């Protein structure tokens, strides 16, 4: 894979500072909550927005190669996410929505890529959709189903909601494939601000896992607590990829444009 395809991998992985206040649960005695109470608490503390505009430094580690780029994000809730990458010069612009992925590569020859999440899932050998991407950008619990019954508990001084009992999780993961379970889901909740701090999704049939972590919380007026550091660890049978976003600016509820135009100077992108 040539180096400029790193930026395509960067965008695909997305699918899946500022003097921050240090909030920890050290020494805090956690009050017992049942799963219904924790689900409602998590719902009440979701980051609220219609639009988000943010700037971040993004670092990705893939195949022992580390790259850092500047990232500009614009999100319209339940609609689309616009991503622009630069490193001294413009590298790439992309738009993702429920039914499409559009990419403009602007270095080493101008190229465009138009497709959907089905192709992304085949490439990564996993299952992602647009909602996961949007939840990650907003610092919310990715893949969380508010209509699902979870198991509640306490783990490492945090509340946890999981698809199975905590004590059973390690045994299930060690055995691997399970005829009764295809997916294991865990969401850890910070007991100080009641925000999702970590999510881990394990696909048992192909030993793929996705781990998302949030930290460095800052209060955004009219939105709530926002994590100024977010990370994704994606592990598949073929690869391991780590992406970290460190935000420097977050603005909400101001309407944004999402410029994207394929001119005659762009050619279709071809993967070899």
Q: pLDDT value at position 21? A: 35
**Given the structure tokens 């994590």, which residue do they identify?**
227
Rounded distance between C-alpha atoms, residue 30 and residue 93, angstroms: 44
Q: pLDDT value at position 178? A: 55
Average pLDDT score over residue span 2-22: 45
Q: pLDDT value at position 28? A: 65
Phi-psi region of 29 (alpha: psi -120 to 50; beta: other; left: phi over 0): beta
Rounded distance between C-alpha atoms, residue 149 and residue 176, angstroms: 23
Rounded distance between C-alpha atoms, residue 260 and residue 265, angstroms: 14
Using DSSP's 3-state secondary structure scheme, residue 173 falls into helix
- Would you say the C-alpha torsion 11, 60, 124, 230 has a positive or negative sign? negative
Give the residue among 190, 191, 187, 199 at the shortest CA–CA distance from 230: 199
**pLDDT for 180 beyond 80:** no
**Given the structure tokens 């109470």, which residue do they identify?**
37
Q: pLDDT value at position 23? A: 40
Average pLDDT score over residue span 213-239: 93
Q: pLDDT value at position 15? A: 54
Q: pLDDT value at position 199? A: 95
**Lowest-pLDDT choice from 35-44, 79-88, 108-117, 154-163:** 108-117
Average pLDDT score over residue span 145-160: 92
State how far the alpha carbon of 177 is from the alpha carbons of 77, 162, 174, 211, in Å: 36, 18, 9, 19
Average pLDDT score over residue span 157-171: 81
Q: pLDDT value at position 221? A: 95
**Lowest-pLDDT choice from 20-34, 62-76, 97-111, 244-258:** 20-34
- Would you say the C-alpha torsion 249, 92, 3, 210 has a positive or negative sign? positive
Q: pLDDT value at position 172? A: 66
**pLDDT for 102 beyond 50:** yes
**pLDDT for 175 beyond 90:** no
Average pLDDT score over residue span 33-38: 95
Q: pLDDT value at position 121? A: 64
The predicted-structure confidence for 1-10, as pLDDT tens digits, reads as follows 344 444 455 5
Q: pLDDT value at position 198? A: 97
**pLDDT for 154 beyond 50:** yes
Q: What is the pTM of this model?
A: 0.82
Give the residue among 133, 125, 139, 120 at the shortest CA–CA distance from 203: 125
DSSP 195-207: -EEEEEEEETTTT
Rounded distance between C-alpha atoms, residue 139 and residue 148, angstroms: 20
Q: pLDDT value at position 192? A: 93
Using DSSP's 3-state secondary structure scheme, residue 89 falls into coil
**pLDDT for 47 beyond 70:** yes
């Amino acid at each position: 894979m040539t180096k400029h395809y790193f930026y395509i991998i960067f965008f695909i992985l997305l699918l899946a500072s500022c003097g921050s206040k240090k909030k920890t649960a050290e020494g805090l005695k956690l009050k017992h909550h049942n799963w219904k109470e924790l689900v409602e608490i998590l719902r009440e503390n979701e980051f609220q927005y219609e639009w988000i505009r943010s700037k971040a430094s993004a670092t990705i580690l893939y195949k022992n190669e580390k790259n850092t780029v500047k990232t500009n994000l614009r999100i319209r809730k339940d609609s689309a996410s616009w991503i622009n990458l630069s490193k001294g010069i413009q590298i790439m612009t992309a738009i993702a929505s429920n039914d499409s992925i559009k990419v403009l590569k602007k270095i080493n020859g101008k190229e465009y890529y138009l497709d959907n999440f089905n192709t992304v899932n085949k490439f990564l050998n996993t299952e992602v959709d647009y909602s996961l991407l949007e939840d990650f950008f907003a610092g919310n619990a990715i893949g969380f189903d508010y209509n699902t019954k979870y198991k509640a508990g306490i783990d490492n001084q945090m509340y946890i909601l999981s698809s199975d009992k905590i004590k059973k999780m390690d045994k299930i993961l060690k055995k691997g494939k399970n005829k009764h379970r295809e997916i294991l889901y865990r969401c850890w909740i910070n007991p100080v601000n009641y925000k999702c701090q970590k999510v881990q999704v394990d696909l048992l049939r192909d030993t793929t896992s996705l781990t998302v972590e949030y930290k460095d919380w800052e209060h955004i007026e009219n939105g709530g607590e926002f994590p100024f550091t977010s990370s994704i660890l994606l592990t598949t049978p073929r690869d391991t990829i780590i992406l970290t976003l460190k935000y420097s600016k977050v603005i909400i509820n101001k309407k944004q444009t999402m410029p994207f135009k394929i001119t005659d100077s762009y050619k279709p992108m071809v993967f070899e």
